[in-house]
Structure 1
Amino acid sequence: MPAPSPSLPIAPLLPRVLAAARTHPVVVSAPTGSGKSTCVPSVLTALGRVLVIEPRRVACRALAVRVAELRGCAAGTDVGWIVRDERRVARDAAITFVTPGVALRIVQSGDIDAFGAVVLDEFHERAFDTDLLLCLLQERRVPGGGGAALVVMSATIEGERVAEHLGGVHLAGEGRTYPIEVRWRPGEATAPTKRGLEERLIAALESCDRDPGDVLVFLPGKAEIARLAQALDARGGGRWDVATLHGAMSVRDQGDVLRPRGEGRGGAGRRRVVLATNVAETSLTIPGVGVVIDSGLVRGMVYRAGRGYLSLLPIARDSAEQRAGRAGRLGPGVCVRLWSEAAPLSEVTVPEIHRGSLVSLTLSALACSPRGMELPWLDRPKSFAVAAAMAELTALGCVRDGVITEAGVRLFSLPLDVGLARLLVEGDMEPGLAEPSLLLAAALSADRPLFRRAERGGFGGYDAPQRVAPEDDLRAAGCDAVALIAAVREGDAGRHGLDGKALSEARAAAGRFRKLGFGDLSWTGAVPRRSLAELLLRVWPGCAHVRRDQKKRRFTWAADGSEMELDGDSAVRAGDTEAVLILDSRAVAVQQQRPGSGLLITAAMPVPIAWLAAAGLGEVVAGKPELGDDGLRVTVSQVYAGRALASREEIPRGEVARVAIRDLVLAGRIMEEEGLLAALEERYQRASLAALLAQEGPLPALSDFVLARLTELGLESWDDLALLNPEDLLPAPPSDEVAAQLERRFPRTLNTGDAAYEIEYRVSERRAIFHQVRGVRKLPPSPTHLPALTGFRLSWEHKNRVQPIAGRG
């Protein structure tokens, strides 16, 4: 193996890394550009085959190519990579670069035992999978050095803390960076924002015209990269040599960006401008960069009402420093930040384990370790979040009694999130749905929308792009599910207004699913919409949303716990449907939010309300009971998100009957002549005071007490009421001794000479109300006349007016 270049800052540290890794976990912290990602894996080959885990596909490919070059071998042979849809590495390769998802499956299968060392790179990003991998790799190590050596690396890692957690050694390396001048260009906004982003980026680029070096621009995603590239071509007149860098690019295209170009200016005197996502923050070295322009934005998941939504988010300060450092690799550099120095950014990127739903993480942990979520986490997940994830996985059939099921293991084995994996698996078992569910899962698994954004439209309805002929509009039927299935099955990017790269990605996913045994290529005909809707409701219980009409024909869509709006990119026509099943959605950045939740439905399936009712959604709610000549009747409704899906009038039985009779009792409409309600309220009040006197727990609310009593008595219908008498429904009377104590401590009446009062005790509120029933007194009773009601708030009621008493409570 060729020795690493002594000019690299990491070189002096390498012998210590190798020596320490033989017996202990090692944490290496060294600045970006020190050479750790390319040199450390090669040094560790002295311990056996090396597995290097990188957070992104683009880093896996680029680093493998670079390390292979340094070791004098062809990329994809003794040094290679395994990422989604791509495996380019020899069976017994010395160094294999993988993404975290691939690494988890290597650990779960036991193939990890073939490696002598594992490197967990860029650990500071703290994604779900990397936190879990740290636990699993730590769990597999044997004290004293048994098992694969473990090296954790990052430029900004809390080295001492991680090393202490692992019982390992922290080694800090030196970097080679130059001073960086930070310039702030906030425009009208203090915090990072997408508003006017392209214009502000072009202005920032023009302001750096005299600064040396190429320019690296950080953008939140591929869509923003494409729009800015188009704007630069239109505005620059060939002035800039524009390149792009993101995770979906081919190895050849990545190589063009990462290959040294000599001088900082492009060919023919043009300056190179590299438009990149956050893949360029770490690991990758882009030669020639002297200027960084940072939008301050990143795409990430936000969680509302237990559901995750992709949104534009401001970066944290540690990420901003990482990005700025890219400008100081060759010499003094410049970083232009499109926000104010006073922007309220978080200091550090919060670990994903503390930011959202733990469903996928919990499934992975259960699949990879018998300890499940009891693994030795660097930052323990919140107990309530774990409980919620276990409950959801149990409902999905992935977990039973806290243990992963065969269905759960199968879902984990699929390269999809839990929801799409379940759609694929369960759809494959339904007649006529194997192929439609595969195509839909493939479409939804793409990293970008399949259909190009509409040229018109906005919140609340679909407008077809003008360049698509009406007869070629796959979304004309108003259903995104049908349109997405058709797009993957037979779509043409140009004719049907599709994103070519997204279409290729979706079809690659469909091919991958077929290799796993899913799908049915013999399927022909129309999508069975009713069957597909029933499948979606079963695999995604929270996907159903019902329409709520707002002013000016604005509609929102509600489920229990969330409310959303329909984005212009959806084919669904809001005014023509009463309910939708949400297939995909996004959150709007804070600065873009309209009034409401800021959650937008980007793809949905319209369904009739009757389909939701038939699926059993919602809860049964009994309306106001009605007594007639033929007995008791109630209107029973099936209610979901505050909307009645179906209603029917019926003679109630069971719980519905008991609730209706309870309501009639409390309304004074049952056994009126016997004075049931007055007796019930009086007896309940004294029983509550007796419980207070005995320092027992409080009685249930009166309505709950009556319902429980009816249940104890076995009442099943209106006819059963004829078998009861008023005393059956009353609390047991207190003993004579207790009754005497109650009269002394909690008198029922008070007479002060100039007024007489009846005292009402609301025990649950610790409140006593003196109702003046006689007398000429026009003021509250004097405190000297009041009984000692310790712990009670006292009020005086006279002629329907209530006011507090400053008394002896």
Structure 2
Amino acid sequence: MVQLPIDPLKPLFIEKLSQHHLVVEAETGSGKSTRLPLWAAESGKVLVIEPRRIACSSLAEFLAAEKSEPIGKSIGYAIRFEAHFDENTDIIFATPGVALRWLSEGQLTKFKTIIIDEFHERRWDTDLLLALLKDSSSNTSNSSQKQRLVITSATIDSQRLTQYLGAEHLKAEGRNFPVTVEHIAVDNRHSPDIRSIENKVFGTIQTYLNNQQALGQNQGDILVFLPGRKEIAQCQSKLKPLSLNFGIDVIPLHASVSDTDRQRALTASEHQRVILATNVAETSLTIPGVTLIIDTGLERRTHQRNGRTVLGLHAISRASAEQRKGRAGRIAAGHCIRLYGSAAPLELITPPELHREELIEPMLAAACCDHRLADLAFIDTLPEKALTQAQERLTSMQAIDDKGLITEHGKRLYPLPIDALFAHLITAMPNKAATEAMVDLAAALSISNKLWQKTNSEEVLEQLAQWEKHHCDAMLLIKLLREPTPDFLTVDADRLQEARQISAQIREALSLPQLDVATSVKRDAWLAAVIKAAPELAFVRREKRRQALGNGYCEVTLGRDSRLSDKAEAAVVFDQFSLPGKGGKQTLNLATCTSPIPLSMLVDLELGEQYHHESKIIDGQCISTTQRIYSGRVIDEQTQSVSDLVTTAMIVEMIQNNQIFPGLATEREHQIEQWNLFLKLGLADPTLCTRNNPADLNLWLNEQIEALGVDSLDDLALFNNDDFIFDGIPEWEQAEFDERFPRKIYIADLHLSAEYAAAGKLVTVVYQSGSRKQDPQRWELPRWQGWRIKYRKASRIIDIR
């Protein structure tokens, strides 16, 4: 077996493991991911938690090959859809999601040692798993019976983590070969930049290959770190000429690559390779032959913005930069080229996911393990706002009770390998057909990439409209899972197979028929059931901004891949993709999977609020109109004839709308405004004025109608405007006061109104209409002696002196 830098640590590791939890700090490439499981297995069964599926399978396969054994004998792995182990397997590699489910089912007790590898990534599931295991360990009184925890990483805050666990700290020094670092940014403070990233990568690789060729050298493979699949595809296309000219293999490596590309990336080759990878290659995976790292300094990660989890482009942390550098120097001296400045302002470590994402999934997982998330001790305190939001959502789903404990409904949701909302929708469906439809849609939306690519071809779009006639994204995805793929659609076969596997797994768990005998669903009835279970998924289209839809809580913009017809006025939005706005802009929420519904469905389900809109007298009858409003839009309007008896509110409304007693509301509103100003100026003489409080037009009219005893249309005919007398400013003072404090002012080519702030003795003259461009002059306005005067036109305000 090849000697690795971590090997001298073995005696101390075995000695300390018998009595303590361990925090093992070792540089990338030291061999910790392969050696520690073998050493720990000498004293019992070992579970190794790896953050990514590709690392689980690759590490297990590597160790099994080292022992010349088939996978699953003494070394196996468990990931979604795949399990290669039995009761006699000594070492099992698993993803955190699998480990959390096993913990909720009490299956982790059979492991003597649990290793959480690459903890520095600070995923929510590894943080939660560690908190749960720490709590369980602290409740075991017999030290010799305690399950041992080993936390490993190349770059961690080891002192803080050691203190948190009450563990021993071990450190392995050195690597096989040194790695030199070069920064090629013009300015040493230049931050990582995605602009023209494919050109930068192309130029860097071309220069390197030309130098190699000039020196007659082949110094090994090149590993390029890129933020996502989009950039990998761009670079792959850009590098084609180099592939032809230099005979190199260009290989993509990300979470969704095919098994063929994964094996090409992880297996040594006689040809020089350029491997274009996301963070999946940053930890755990050993890519043989790499001597040059090209680090763009970028990654895509989630963060909270305006109360939503969004996926954004970020500069990596210094810890991640070190991890990337460490991928070289395994077989020979390595070199790391960073496409950013040596003094770029990078964070020290990547913020934990529990601080960057919603806490719905962690809270549900903790509850299924009989713990309240808020009660667990984490390395970093959880944000209160996110805890409250998660509790509200899960309580509304009835997944947890008011005390935060798991319900029977929650127990049914948790094992389903999908988002908690979709799990809730599946279990809330009223019949088998609707349940199957929800299962298939949830499976299609749970994969990491789009199943199909939309085209601009009119011919293809017409064929698509014939194949799926409702312009319904959800039904299209369901049909893709259930039926043979149409020739005219561009479909990702690997992702389609993955979605079908998820569907089959959930169908089996719920004792539903398999896909080939799926039950046909009535679309409208199914969507109505979805809205009943999750009303927040119902959106209405904005009447002016047709690409936008709202639900009263948030707004979404139709994504370019959505097929929602412009004729659709409402939709169920099953899936959103949130992008951070630039600078101070709001988060952009793209609706990526929609299902059109009629507005009448929202009315039938009683969404929104019903309001009295207006009352009118037409041909001697009182006609009342009510509106139902959802997310600021009228979705229904009902008009009915009211009997002879009318309410006070209806009469007041008709007065204010000049339907009856025309001019009364305008006259009395002026008198009331003037009275309120008169009162504030202290001009009211208690011996002469019959009232001493400010007045309100609406309340005053209600009082008058009640006092006059009006309750029918016939009664209204007995009165006129003169019967509604406002007893405010004494009659003999009214004209003089109006002249001193006018509300409307007319000067040359200007119509103005006046607003009075008595407390500060301020008059604001407001432009209403007129062709004059010059501002009003002080001499043109009323005297207003002792008052300050401002002039407002639109958003412009000036002092008039």
TM-score range normalised by the length of the shorter chain: 0.7 to 0.9
SS in 1 for 2:453: coil
**What's the CA shift string for 1:360-392, capped at 9, x where partnerless?**
111111111333421111112111211111111
**What's the CA shift string for 1:577-607, capped at 9, x where partnerless?**
222322333345768x999854333322122
Residue correspondence of structure 1 range 233-244 to structure 2 within 5 A: 233=240, 236-237=243-244, 239-244=247-252
Q: Is the 8 A contact 1:475 1:571 kept in 2?
A: no
From the superposition, tell whether residues 171 and 533 of structure 1 become closer, same or farther in structure 2 (CA, over 3 Å): same
2:576 match: 585
2:445 match: 444
In 1, Cα distance between the equivalents of 2:462 and 2:673? 73
- Given candidates 403, 419, 428, the residue that maps to 1:417 is 419
- Given candidates 88, 92, 96, the residue that maps to 2:88 is 92
Deviation at 1:23, TM superposition (A): 2.7
1:8 match: 4
Residue correspondence of structure 1 range 594-633 to structure 2 within 5 A: 597-623=587-613
2:548 match: 556
Structure 2: runs of 5+ lacking an equivalent: 213-218, 683-693, 716-732, 734-738, 742-756, 764-780
Residue correspondence of structure 1 range 355-394 to structure 2 within 5 A: 355-394=356-395
From the superposition, tell whether residues 559 and 471 of structure 1 become closer, same or farther in structure 2 (CA, over 3 Å): closer
Q: Is the 8 A contact 1:542 1:559 kept in 2?
A: yes
In 2, Cα distance between the equivalents of 1:160 and 1:205? 39
Deviation at 1:523, TM superposition (A): 6.0
SS in 2 for 1:538: helix
1:36 match: 32
Deviation at 1:122, TM superposition (A): 0.9
SS in 1 for 2:532: helix
In 2, Cα distance between the equivalents of 1:164 and 1:662? 71
**What's the CA shift string for 1:240-286, capped at 9, x where partnerless?**
11233333456675444323x3xxxx53xx42111222111011111
Deviation at 1:510, TM superposition (A): 1.6
In 2, Cα distance between the equivalents of 1:190 and 1:623? 59
Deviation at 1:803, TM superposition (A): 12
2:686 match: none
In 1, Cα distance between the equivalents of 2:398 and 2:55? 36
1:169 match: 168
Q: Is the 8 A contact 2:413 2:424 kept in 1?
A: yes
Deviation at 1:441, TM superposition (A): 1.6
Q: Does 1:75 align with 2:75?
A: no
In 1, Cα distance between the equivalents of 2:312 and 2:592? 12
1:22 match: 18
Q: Does 1:547 align with 2:541?
A: yes
SS in 1 for 2:239: helix
2:97 match: 101
Q: Is the 8 A contact 1:183 1:334 kept in 2?
A: no
Q: Is the 8 A contact 1:317 1:348 kept in 2?
A: yes
**What's the CA shift string for 1:399-439, capped at 9, x where partnerless?**
22122211111111111110221233233x42532332222
SS in 2 for 1:576: coil
- Given candidates 397, 407, 410, the residue that maps to 2:409 is 407
Deviation at 1:450, TM superposition (A): 0.4
TM-score (norm: length of structure 2): 0.76
Deviation at 1:97, TM superposition (A): 0.6
1:572 match: 564
Segment drifting more, 191-200 vs 417-426: 191-200
Segment drifting more, 19-28 vs 414-423: 19-28
In 2, Cα distance between the equivalents of 1:43 and 1:545? 56
In 2, Cα distance between the equivalents of 1:82 and 1:159? 28
Q: Is the 8 A contact 2:473 2:593 kept in 1?
A: yes
In 2, Cα distance between the equivalents of 1:280 and 1:718? 79
Deviation at 1:626, TM superposition (A): 6.0
In 2, Cα distance between the equivalents of 1:33 and 1:80? 22
Q: Does 1:528 align with 2:518?
A: no
TM-score (norm: length of structure 1): 0.75
2:146 match: 147
Identity of aligned residues (%): 32
In 1, Cα distance between the equivalents of 2:105 and 2:204? 50
In 2, Cα distance between the equivalents of 1:481 and 1:58? 30
In 2, Cα distance between the equivalents of 1:344 and 1:650? 67
SS in 2 for 1:501: helix
Name the aligned partner's letter for residue 415 of structure 2: S
Q: Does 1:511 align with 2:500?
A: no
1:731 match: none
Deviation at 1:203, TM superposition (A): 2.5
SS in 2 for 1:413: coil
Q: Does 1:119 align with 2:115?
A: yes
- Counting matched residue pairs gives 706
Deviation at 1:289, TM superposition (A): 0.6
Q: Is the 8 A contact 1:220 1:299 kept in 2?
A: yes
2:736 match: none
Name the aligned partner's letter for residue 548 of structure 1: R
SS in 2 for 1:399: coil
Aligned Cα root-mean-square deviation (Å)? 4.7
- Given candidates 627, 631, 634, the residue that maps to 1:637 is 627
Q: Is the 8 A contact 2:226 2:278 kept in 1?
A: yes
Deviation at 1:534, TM superposition (A): 1.6
- Given candidates 472, 479, 488, the residue that maps to 2:481 is 488
Name the aligned partner's letter for residue 286 of structure 1: I
SS in 2 for 1:507: helix
From the superposition, tell whether residues 476 and 800 of structure 1 become closer, same or farther in structure 2 (CA, over 3 Å): closer
2:289 match: 288
Name the aligned partner's letter for residue 208 of structure 1: Y
Q: Is the 8 A contact 1:290 1:328 kept in 2?
A: yes
Segment drifting more, 377-386 vs 332-341: 332-341
In 2, Cα distance between the equivalents of 1:231 and 1:473? 38
Structure 1: runs of 5+ lacking an equivalent: 457-462, 690-700, 723-748, 750-754, 758-765, 782-794, 805-809
Name the aligned partner's letter for residue 244 of structure 1: P
SS in 2 for 1:215: strand
In 1, Cα distance between the equivalents of 2:191 and 2:115? 36
Q: Is the 8 A contact 1:24 1:144 kept in 2?
A: no
From the superposition, tell whether residues 597 and 107 of structure 1 become closer, same or farther in structure 2 (CA, over 3 Å): closer
In 2, Cα distance between the equivalents of 1:111 and 1:70? 28
Name the aligned partner's letter for residue 532 of structure 1: W
From the superposition, tell whether residues 21 and 686 of structure 1 become closer, same or farther in structure 2 (CA, over 3 Å): farther
From the superposition, tell whether residues 435 and 768 of structure 1 become closer, same or farther in structure 2 (CA, over 3 Å): same
In 2, Cα distance between the equivalents of 1:172 and 1:659? 79
SS in 2 for 1:620: strand
